[in-house]
Every structure is written in C-alpha cells, then in structure tokens.
Structure 1
Amino acid sequence: MADLRYHVDGDLVPADEATVSVRDRGFMYGDAVFETLRAYGEEVFRWDAHAERLARSAAAIELDHGLDSGELKRRIDETLRANDLEDAYVKLSVTRGVQPGKLTPSPDVDPTVVVQAKPLPRGGVDAEPIWDGPATLQTVKTRRVPDAAIPSQAKTHNYLNGILARLELRVSDADEAVMLDADGHLAEGATSNLFFVDGDALCTPSLDGPVLPGITREEVLDIAGQEGIPVNEGSFTPEDLRDAEEAFVTNTTWEVRPVETVDGINIGGGPVTTLFQRVYDARIEREHYGGERIGDGAESGPAD
C-alpha cells in the first residue's frame, strides 16, 4: 500500500504525498461530490452509470466543475495503470476547490480532482468476497436527512449522517446501520441499499424517499427483470425487514451481500439472494474476464 500512487489535479503522486489545501472547500465544508467505483480486469464497472450519477450530484449542489466524463475516466485509467491494478477499489472526488473563506461559494470554480485506488480481489464467478461474512444489521436512531434538507441523490463528501449512524453500532455487534426516514420507514444502510424478500416479491425502499440511487441497486433491479422476479419498490417498516424470509444489502464494493441478522433477529440467506449473487457474478465474469470461469462450467443461475 505504501507504493500506491494517486491522481491529484492532473498529476500522479505517491499516496503518502497526496494532499489538498486546507482551504479547499471539500475539506472545509464537505463541498464536494464523489463516486466509489470498482475495477474488474482493468475496467471500471458501469462507468457510464457512475458518470451520470456524479453529474447529477454536481448539478444538485450547483458545482459546475467543467470536466467531461471522458477526462475523468482518463484519470481513473491512468491511476489504475500507474499502480498496475487490474482489480481495484477506486474513489473519484471532485471538490469546488480553493475559494475565499466564506460559506457562500463563488461561481468561478477551479475544481480539485482526486483519484484514489487500492487493490481488491478478483471478482466474477468463484471470487472471494471482500466481506468477512453475511451482514449483521442494526436499526439506529439517527434518521436519514430529508431530501428537503440535503438531496439524497447528491453523493457528497458531507457524510456525517452516515458516520453518526455507524457510531451507534459501537454498542452492538452489527456491521451496518439500518437508517429510517423522518416518518420511521426504511431508507437505506449507512453505505448500502436494502433488499428483502417477503414471499411475494423482492422489496426495496423506493427512491421517492431519502435513498441514494445505488449503481448496484440498479443492477439488482435489472437482474430481477431478467429473471422474472416481481419487485416492490415502496414504503416499508423496520418490522417488514425483521419479518423477511431473506435479505441482502448492496453497494459497489460489497456487491450483493447476504444479511444474517436484523436487530438480533436471524434472517439468513436464501435461494433468491443466492440467485442474485450468482447472476451478478456471472455478469462480471462475462463482461470483464471474457467468461473465463463460465466457460469452465460455472452456472449463471440457480441449480435445477
């Protein structure tokens, strides 16, 4: 890790020398947007979707950084090559840059752009997951910030809401927080989207609430359509999740992670979760590794 190089404002620098100004608005106010990405076989997964979400985040906070998706992708690719990384975690951050020290941002933006990367295991079929085991979830008191306060579709450096939720987990053995909206309905995890099976459909909180439109969430919904699995995007209570037949959480690095317990109540995995894991892995295998392990006889769907 000490030999990694990061991309900072157009230059590749050693990770331990990668710095931004203390006057940068991303540092001072969290006035920045970012994307967490995963590279498989030297290519970023679903770059177009990530680039579109980054653009929506920037528009939501009126950050006109002036960089097109091609230039941002070039910097990511340079970072991967400089570190000789085929499979990696990547974080792309764009801040409003250094401006006069006042809360109101200037319309003139000289953005700070940082790309960080670190190695991850190979993805795809028969890959080792990066998590230690199924997720344990705990419902927390910290509520998700309403859209009227901070738009949920803006993925910004201001992550205090999620940090407070994760701090509550210190008194439990849980490793992910279940956050509710202002009305007490399910929203999302601190860094993940929530899914559960109620017997009739795959359920997930609607984007009408304060829910980040996750790229992996979108992929799961696409798989559900492919596999003919009914989906209920709606409003749910914590009891709905605790009573579920099975559940899983998603994000870019975890991919599809089964849930073991919710608030100490055993949920466990199941055939639907296993199906989504296997189809997701098969997609990664085909798109990023040329179907290498699928060709060796791996299945893309459930066993007969």
Structure 2
Amino acid sequence: MSDTNEAARERLYHVNGSLVTPDEATVSVDDRGFRYGDGAFETLRAYGGTIFEAEAHFDRLERTCSTLGLDHGLTREDLSSRITETLAANDLEDAYVRLSITRGVQPGKLTPQPTVEPTVVIWVKPLARGGLEGTPVWEGPATLQTVKTRRIPDAALPAGAKTHNYLNGILARKELHDADEALVRDLDGYVAEGATSNVFFVDDAGLHTPTLEGSVLPGITREAVLELAGEASIPVHEGWYEPEDVRKADEVFLTNTTWELRPVERVDGLECEAPGPVTALLSRLFAERVERQCYRE
C-alpha cells in the first residue's frame, strides 16, 4: 500500500459528534448538503495546534448559516472543541481543517423544514508549518487567467455566504489552460475574485483589491492583509477594477486561508514581479502575525 493510501486509511474524521474511520465516515444520500448543496462550510488553518483567526471564521460561518436560515443549534465552543479533538486524534498541529454543516436529512422537497438535525463533518490533513519558520504550501508563484465564467451576482446568491454550492468556481477552473487560478469577473466585467481566492495588485497608487460592495467573498486572509497594510502605512484602495488594471500592475498576489499570500508571476500571459517588494513585506508581516498568535503564545 502506498504512503498516500496508508495515510488516508489511518485518518480519523469527526462526523456528528464522533470520531470515525474513513469507512465509517458516511453521510446519507438524503442529506440536503448532498441533494442541494444546502450547507455551510469554513476552511481553517491550524498552526501549532491553534486555529488562526478562529473568531473571524466562526463569525463568517454564523453569517452564512443565518443567510441560509440554518439554525444548527451548536455553539462555536462546541465546534471548536470538535476541531481540537479531530486534530489531536490525527496527531496534527499544523493542518488544513474543513468544517461543514448541512441542514441534514429532510423530506425530498426543495423547501427546507424549520426543524434541523444538522450533519456536522470535520476533516483535517497535514500542512507545512507556518509563521516565520514556515514554508509555503504552494509550489512557486501562481499564473492567473481571465475566464469567461462570471461570478454569480450577490442578488442571486449572496457573495458573503460560503456554501456547499461551488459549481461557479469549478466551471471557472475548468477553463484554465496552463494557469493556476481563474480571474473571475462580475456581470458588468469588473474583477471580482479568483475561483477560491481574493485578488490584490500593486501600482504607484498603492495596494488595490476589489470592493466588497461587489460580488466578492469577504476572505479572512483578505481582511488580515488589509489590516497589515494599514499598519505598515501602505495606501489601500478597495474599488472597481477591470482585468487590464490587474494585467498592467507591478505586483499581483492572491490570498486564501491555505495559500496565505501567493505571488502571481503572470496575468493572461503578461509577466509581473513575483514576489514584488510590497508582496514580500506583507507576506513577512502575515508570518509574524501567525507566529505571535499561534506559536509564541
């Protein structure tokens, strides 16, 4: 058996309050998360056994569940303890963590019922150490490609809701040719985000990122970067941008919980500095924040 298969066989999952083996980690085919994508999730990252920006992640999870009208009845303390238990059971301190909550099993009708018996699943996998002694989980700078698939408008599916319906991002990624991430626009042609990331770029005016007034997911790492840029006196602009603004930028980088800050070396075939000085500075400041919050304390 390969090392990969052995690791998968030995991994323990947290399903509805219990630690179970992969063979036991099952969800009903009648679960609304499977049938309709009717569920919320968060991707978190553990550094040294501590979840980075945990409160921000739980705040967003609560907002998503509120949008869905999914009253799962679990406190963040209970969810946090389940995450801790899952990490410990898998002997992991530096890890990728995914927490999913669906509306559970209900009669096969589109309209959800008010009474919810949620399905709660937590799974983890190892990631490299972060902070000042860490190494990136990505292999080199990213390449970015503008795609035809557009971001679902906020009026149709609230952009701030992190749900199990990820078809929009899947279709965007399917368009890629020799690129790592999709540059997704809204219906008016303005840059929204990547398929699974927020987009930043740097020019003579400072640091830019698409505004949350558009169809943009409020990323946890995005918010941390904006805070760090403000503390470093880097001019920050949140606005409406076209792909050409990103193509002609001096520096471009992507953010999400797993990648942290990932520099971009090409946008639609055009080269940019990767990492440039602003990206390098913000990456270092981010690593220092991780170190303070998760390792030194």
TM class by smaller structure? over 0.9
1:140 paired with 2:147, answer: yes
Question: Residues of 2 paired with 1:34 and 1:51: CA distance?
Answer: 10
1:226 paired with 2:227, answer: no
Question: Residues of 1 paired with 2:52 and 2:131: CA distance?
Answer: 12
Q: State percent identity of aligned pairs.
A: 64
Which amino acid in 2 is paired with 1:143?
R
Instruction: Find the counterpart in structure 1 of residue 278 from structure 2.
Output: 272
Q: Which of 149, 156, 166 is the matching residue for 1:159?
A: 166
Which amino acid in 1 is paired with 2:33?
G
- Structure 1 residue runs of 4 or more that deviate by more than 4 Å after TM superposition: none
Instruction: Find the counterpart in structure 2 of residue 298 from structure 1.
Output: none
Instruction: Find the counterpart in structure 2 of residue 9 from structure 1.
Output: 16
Instruction: Find the counterpart in structure 2 of residue 300 from structure 1.
Output: none
Instruction: Find the counterpart in structure 2 of residue 248 from structure 1.
Output: 253
Q: Which 5+ residue runs of structure 2 have no aligned equivalent?
A: 1-6
Q: Which 10-residue stretch deviates more, 277-286 or 157-166?
A: 277-286
Q: May I ask how many residue pairs the two structures share in their alignment?
A: 289
Which amino acid in 1 is paired with 2:269?
G
1:37 paired with 2:59, answer: no
Question: Residues of 1 paired with 2:251 and 2:146: CA distance?
Answer: 17
Q: Which of 197, 206, 211 is the matching residue for 2:202?
A: 197
Question: Residues of 1 paired with 2:90 and 2:141: CA distance?
Answer: 31
Which amino acid in 2 is paired with 1:23?
D
Q: Deviations over 1:187-241 (max 9, x none)?
A: 0000000000021110000000010000000000010111011110000000000
1:209 paired with 2:214, answer: yes
Which amino acid in 2 is paired with 1:115?
I
Instruction: Find the counterpart in structure 2 of residue 74 from structure 1.
Output: 81
RMSD: 0.9
Question: Residues of 1 paired with 2:73 and 2:121: CA distance?
Answer: 15
Q: Normalising by the residue count of structure 2, what TM-score does the alignment of the two structures yield? A: 0.96
Tell me the SS of whatever aligns to 1:17: coil
Question: Residues of 2 paired with 1:203 and 1:157: CA distance?
Answer: 29
Which amino acid in 2 is paired with 1:230?
P
1:282 paired with 2:288, answer: yes
Q: Which 5+ residue runs of structure 1 have no aligned equivalent?
A: 292-304
Which amino acid in 1 is paired with 2:257?
T
- How do 1:106-185 residues align onto structure 2 when only pairs under 5 Å count? 106-169=113-176, 172-185=177-190
Question: Residues of 1 paired with 2:175 and 2:31: CA distance?
Answer: 30
Question: Residues of 2 paired with 1:271 and 1:277: CA distance?
Answer: 10
Q: Normalising by the residue count of structure 1, what TM-score does the alignment of the two structures yield? A: 0.94
Q: Deviations over 1:138-157 (max 9, x none)?
A: 00000000011000000000
Question: Residues of 2 paired with 1:28 and 1:202: CA distance?
Answer: 41
